Amino acid sequence: MTTDVAGLRVVVTGGAGFVGSWLCERLLADGAEVVCVDSLVTGRVDNIATLRAHPRFSFVRADICEGIPVRGRVDWVMHLASPASPVHYLRLPLETLRVGSIGTSRALDLAIDHGARFLLASTSEVYGDPLEHPQHESYWGNVNPLGPRSVYDEAKRFAEATTAAYRREHGADTVVARIFNTYGPRMSLEDGRVVTAFVRQALEGRPLTVAGDGSQTRSLCFVADTVDGLVRLAASGLPGPVNIGGDREITVLALAHTVRDLVGSTSEVDFVELPQDDPTRRRPDLTRARTLLGWEPTTPTEEGLRRTMEWIAGELGLDRERLVATAEAAGPSPRPR
């Protein structure tokens, strides 16, 4: 399917975040004009540093819950603003709920005012600790509404409900993307997500902390693939929801071993207490993405992890070349089963 965005003016909320910055970069590369809006509560100016001089890029620092001060034509609104890692949303529970509710309404209002296409970046967390496996978009989920994780899960569920209501009541041109575990360069080193934590611990020679017995699974997707799915979905005219993520399942313990081997580390594995409501299995049904978008992840896990490792090593001031040579000498890691 076509993803021609040349000439479009796209507002990306949360554009200085991890996925948001990759999305801004992709849209610019495809010929769009990009307005990045971010409060920098969890986003980083460093993530968009190389984009600031681009003639088709502009940055607006704003809390979208207070309004989105963007003037001029708007063709797409891609709404990614939200704390997205456990460390961030547990530290900012009320802010997370607020941006999922008020912030989503503000972004939808902007789209309505300009007759723009609206994409909501939702999450696999709407499925909670799923009783259905793999998770199809028709599944309603199994979420604890009172648990500590609920501030993120329910914020995104409310955002989806708001998006659907705007479509029904106002005829808004909307689509919902449900993003599964995404990883890659520019992730916050302190965000507590499993890939970042394992890579950093292995690079620093510290024990790799595995929650529970490590039998819980995740399905990883490299960020460039995730962004490609988002652009395709925005360009599709579909209403969604559509799952965007990798569907090669891997246990957390196997991931720890894979990362340790890639880094060439001798770190041990330490088992720690499993967080409350931590999902036991997570894998998307990608039938819709494959048949309707012609999309599926293409970056091999080993390649994505190596690129992430190199970036984290650079952030930590470690010798990238030595680490890459060590990883290549170790050879390809076993593929997830």
Q: pLDDT by residue (tens digit) across 64-77? A: 999 999 999 999 99
- Residue 336 counted as domain residue: no
Domain that residue 120 falls in: 9-183+221-244
**Residue owning tokens 């963007």:** 70
pLDDT at position 324 over 70: no
Give me the pLDDT at residue 337, please: 28
131 and 235 part of one domain: yes
122 and 65 part of one domain: yes
| Residues 273, 262: Cα–Cα separation, whole Å | 26
- Residue 17 counted as domain residue: yes
pLDDT confidence of 192, banded at 50, 70, 90?
confident
- Residue 200 counted as domain residue: yes
65 and 86 part of one domain: yes
238 and 258 part of one domain: no
240 and 261 part of one domain: no
26 and 83 part of one domain: yes
114 and 96 part of one domain: yes
Percentage helix, strand, coil, to 5, in the chain? 45, 15, 40
CA 205 to chain centre: 27
pLDDT confidence of 244, banded at 50, 70, 90?
very high
Question: Rounded to the nearest 5 degrees, what angle is found at the Cα of 58, between the Cα atoms of 54 and 59?
Answer: 125
pLDDT confidence of 334, banded at 50, 70, 90?
very low
pLDDT at position 182 over 80: yes
pLDDT at position 319 over 90: no
| Residues 277, 161: Cα–Cα separation, whole Å | 22
97 and 207 part of one domain: no
Q: What is the mean pLDDT of residues 164-190?
A: 96
The catalytic residue positions are 152
Q: Which are the contacts of 155, defined by CB distance < 8 A and separation ≥ 6?
A: 82, 96, 97, 99, 100, 101
Q: What is the mean pLDDT of residues 122-147?
A: 94
Give me the pLDDT at residue 105, please: 98
- Residue 46 counted as domain residue: yes
pLDDT confidence of 230, banded at 50, 70, 90?
very high
Q: Cβ of 129: how many Cβ atoms within 10 Å? A: 19
Give me the pLDDT at residue 187, please: 93
169 and 213 part of one domain: no
Q: Which are the contacts of 235, defined by CB distance < 8 A and separation ≥ 6?
A: 1, 2, 3, 4, 5
- Residue 39 counted as domain residue: yes
- Residue 188 counted as domain residue: no
90 and 231 part of one domain: yes
59 and 40 part of one domain: yes
Q: Which CATH number belongs to the domain containing residue 325 in this structure?
A: 3.90.25.10
pLDDT at position 141 over 50: yes
| Lowest model confidence (mean pLDDT) among 82-91, 105-114, 222-231, 239-248 | 82-91
Give me the pLDDT at residue 91, please: 93
- Residue 92 counted as domain residue: yes
227 and 319 part of one domain: no
The answer, as to whether pTM is greater than 0.85, is: yes
Q: What is the mean pLDDT of residues 322-329?
A: 50
Q: Cβ of 290: how many Cβ atoms within 10 Å? A: 12
Q: pLDDT by residue (tens digit) across 195-211? A: 999 999 999 999 999 99
Give me the pLDDT at residue 280, please: 83
Q: Are 11 and 35 spatial neighbours (Cβ–Cβ below 8 Å)? A: yes
Q: Which CATH number belongs to the domain containing residue 144 in this structure?
A: 3.40.50.720
Please give the radius of gyration of the chain, using alpha carbons only, rounded to the nearest integer.
Answer: 19
- Residue 120 counted as domain residue: yes
Number of domains in the chain: 2
